[in-house]
Structure 1
């Protein structure tokens, strides 16, 4: 029996991946534009991105800026960072977020 079948159905494996990503959700993302603490963030679909453990996007209600939090291997994070820049057509800034909250 294949390893994937031992880990459950495709739906169960997808749910487990979502739960793993949500467990890495930071307490907040600090807006790269106005420095506001952004507590509401949306998980990004990382299912096809090798080397990325979790990625979240927050939209700042104060200045309208989107800020991203990405966790993973250094090279994969850099590549995703560049892909986001290409998609939004603007240079982005790197920052640091606090550790993920524990339940």
Structure 2
């Protein structure tokens, strides 16, 4: 408990976690379906997802396809990828967002 007090109130710690995740947001991701450049994306709550640093989803205005950007440990990202496939009922495509794409 003493360490938590040092890091701030629960609200301050939550805000700091949100800011850390948003700092990992790429400038854009490429739609896995039609290859459109997507800059509007929403953060996904990754609290409690061990090994996931940040995750975002963008819905393509051109084709309606959802594309995800996930950053974290390789195994955790693979597990989240499979969970997305299970939740959406469709096969998801994996891609890579280059480091140069960071804000």
Normalising by structure 1, report the TM-score.
0.95
CA RMSD of aligned residues (A): 0.9
Whole-Å separation in 2 of the counterparts to 1:56 and 1:96: 13
Deviations 1:28-65 (A, max 9, x none): 01000000000000000001101100000000000000
Whole-Å separation in 1 of the counterparts to 2:70 and 2:10: 25
Which structure shows the higher helix fraction? 2
Matched with 2:9 is 9
Q: How does 1:1-103 map to 2 (within 5 A)?
A: 2-99=2-99, 100-101=102-103
Deviations 1:49-91 (A, max 9, x none): 0110000000000000000000000010000000000000000
Whole-Å separation in 1 of the counterparts to 2:33 and 2:4: 42
Structure 1 segments, 4+ long, off by >4 Å, are none
Q: How many residues align?
A: 101
Normalising by structure 2, report the TM-score.
0.95
